[in-house]
């Protein structure tokens, strides 16, 4: 075991990635993780109904939307990495090993957030195994994401040990389970007829499109940041890889924009009254700022214009567009989760408001910061301990 550990350190570590600046940044991310754990522990002791601002009529809030955002991003990274490994020698290949690591990081961070949201997460782990419900989208989602984590851990270990053929097989299994889990995540919302804003067949496919968008954006931004922390000039092969990911990002931004437009139109040409009222919450109601400023302007329009005007050639422009796209996807998941519940199920009954009021609590925000901090910390640790693996792509 000691010999294997020594090989691991000497073969994959990249000490130059650990600068004073990255150490300070890692410490900040670590503090965010600790704050998130503390907020989650506080919720366990005082009660989730006290620590979090969810109510019976709106049981899902910021933590669910953040879980969905991280899980969907993980799916996109896993799919892009697997596609790159299957068709070796393509321009995305220099980004593939890092995408495998980032996909694993994102799904573990998603589990971190959802673990703090569920009142008894240990019961979920136990009863998921001893009393499975094969008719439940939530059961399939959790089980498939759990399997995907296992596949990706083994895949990454095989990459570290240079067993690339076996790693490819595990990568394909991981990608298939991630796709299944991602569509089941969409199905959790899409199969609820009591929530007209969610109900329908579009969400599983929409989530898959968002996965490619978020995955491409994460690949661009984290690869760019990896070069910044090393203070090294980007290799031409890596630059070509980022450009290819940027093209994927631009394509998916256009597709998601079209899907968003027609989704809104559908509620005003024959949709239910409750669904239309939920859509109005986004267009002109309490969620309008989120929708128009963060989801549409920052998350879709600005990055499309930036990528198109620079013709997907500027690394800085692509990185900025990727950051804006991820911000937009984060708010898009929040808007979707809240809009689906914000209209009372018995709207029109005397005494009920037009919209419920929901603002995330401080504890919810700290848990989310903890999950994002875990992503940042794991990214930096990955660059420090696996940096050489991320630059080895010719063998695939």
Residue pair 42/367 in contact (Cβ under 8 Å)? The answer is no
CB 389, CB 159: distance < 8 Å: yes
Helix and strand tally (H, E) in the chain? 15, 0
**395 has a pLDDT exceeding 70:** no
Q: Say what angle helices 137-160 and 362-390 make with each other, to 10 degrees.
A: 30
Q: How confident is the model at residue 119 (pLDDT cuts 50, 70, 90)?
A: confident
The reported pTM is 0.94
Comparing 174-178, 252-256, 357-361, 383-387, which segment has the lowest mean pLDDT?
383-387
> How many Å apart are CA 147 and CA 128, to the nearest integer?
13
SS (H, E, C) 220-286: HHHHHHHHHHHCCCCCHHHHHHHHHHHHHHHHHHHHHHHHHHHHHHHCCCCCCHHHHHHHHHHHCCC
- Domains defined along the chain, listed by start: 2-390 (1.20.1630.10)
- Res. 9 pLDDT band, cuts 50 70 90: low
Query: pLDDT value at position 205?
Result: 95
How wide is the angle at C-alpha 346 spanned by C-alphas 345 and 349, nearest 5°? 150
pLDDT at 14 over 60: yes
**Per-residue pLDDT at 18:** 77
Q: Which residues pair with 58 in a beta bridge?
A: 55
Please report which confidence band the pLDDT of residue 232 belongs to, taking 50, 70 and 90 as the band edges.
confident
Confidence of residue 13 (pLDDT cuts 50, 70, 90): confident
pLDDT digits (tens, 9 = 90+) for 26-82: 999 999 999 999 999 999 999 999 999 998 889 999 999 999 999 999 999 999 999
Spatial distance between the Cα atoms of 378 and 373, rounded to a whole number of angstroms: 8
The pLDDT value recorded for residue 363 is 97
pLDDT in the model for residue 281: 96
Asked whether the predicted pLDDT for residue 91 surpasses 60, the reply is yes
Q: Residue 111 has what pLDDT?
A: 95
pLDDT mean across residues, the chain: 91
**What pLDDT, on a 0 to 100 scale, did the predictor assign at position 372?**
97
Average pLDDT rounded to a whole number, residues 89-113: 93
Report whether pLDDT(116) > 70. Answer: yes
- Predicted confidence at residue 326, as pLDDT, reads 98
Overall average pLDDT of the 318-346 stretch = 95
3-state secondary structure of 59: coil
Phi and psi at residue 32, to the nearest 5°: -65, -40
Distance CA 316, CA 224 (A): 8
Predicted pLDDT at 271? 77
What is residue 17's predicted lDDT score, i.e. its pLDDT?
A: 78
95: pLDDT strictly greater than 90: yes
pLDDT digits (tens, 9 = 90+) for 335-353: 999 999 999 887 666 678 8
What is the percent of the chain where pLDDT is above 90?
74
> Higher model confidence: residue 371 or residue 3?
371
Per-residue pLDDT, 276: 94
């Amino acid at each position: 075991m000691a010999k294997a550990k020594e090989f691991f350190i000497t073969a994959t570590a990249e000490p130059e990635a650990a600068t004073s600046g990255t150490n300070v940044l890692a410490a900040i991310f670590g503090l965010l993780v600790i704050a998130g754990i503390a907020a989650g522990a506080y919720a366990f002791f005082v009660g989730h109904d006290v620590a979090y601002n969810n109510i019976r009529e709106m049981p899902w809030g910021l933590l669910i939307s953040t879980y969905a955002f991280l899980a969907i991003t993980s799916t996109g990274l896993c799919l892009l990495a697997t596609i790159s490994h299957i068709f070796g020698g393509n321009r995305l290949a220099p980004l593939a090993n890092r995408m495998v690591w980032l996909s694993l990081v994102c799904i573990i961070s998603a589990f971190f957030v959802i673990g703090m949201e569920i009142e008894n997460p240990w019961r979920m782990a136990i009863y998921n195994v001893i009393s499975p419900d094969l008719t439940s989208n939530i059961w399939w989602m959790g089980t498939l994401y759990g399997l995907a984590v296992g596949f990706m851990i083994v895949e990454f270990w095989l990459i570290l040990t240079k067993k690339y053929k076996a790693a490819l097989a595990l990568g394909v299994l991981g990608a298939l389970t991630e796709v299944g889990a991602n569509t089941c995540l969409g199905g959790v919302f899409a199969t609820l007829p009591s929530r007209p804003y969610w109900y329908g067949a579009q969400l599983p496919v929409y989530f898959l499109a968002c996965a490619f968008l978020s995955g491409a954006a994460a690949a661009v931004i984290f690869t760019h940041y990896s070069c910044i922390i090393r203070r090294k000039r980007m290799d031409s092969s890596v630059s070509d890889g980022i450009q290819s990911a940027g093209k994927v990002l631009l394509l998916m931004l256009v597709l998601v924009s079209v899907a968003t437009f027609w989704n809104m139109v559908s509620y005003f040409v024959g949709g239910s009254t409750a669904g239309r009222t939920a859509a109005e919450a986004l267009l002109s109601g309490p969620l309008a700022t989120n929708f128009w400023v963060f989801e549409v302007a920052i998350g879709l329009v600005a990055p499309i214009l930036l990528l198109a005007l620079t013709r997907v050639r500027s690394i800085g422009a692509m990185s900025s567009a990727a950051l804006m796209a991820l911000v937009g996807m984060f708010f898009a998941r929040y808007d979707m989760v809240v809009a689906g519940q914000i209209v009372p199920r018995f709207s029109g009954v005397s005494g009920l408001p037009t919209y419920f009021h929901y603002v995330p609590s401080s504890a919810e925000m700290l848990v989310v910061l903890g999950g994002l901090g875990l992503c940042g910390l794991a990214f930096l640790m990955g660059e420090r301990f696996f940096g050489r693996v991320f630059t080895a792509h010719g063998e695939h």
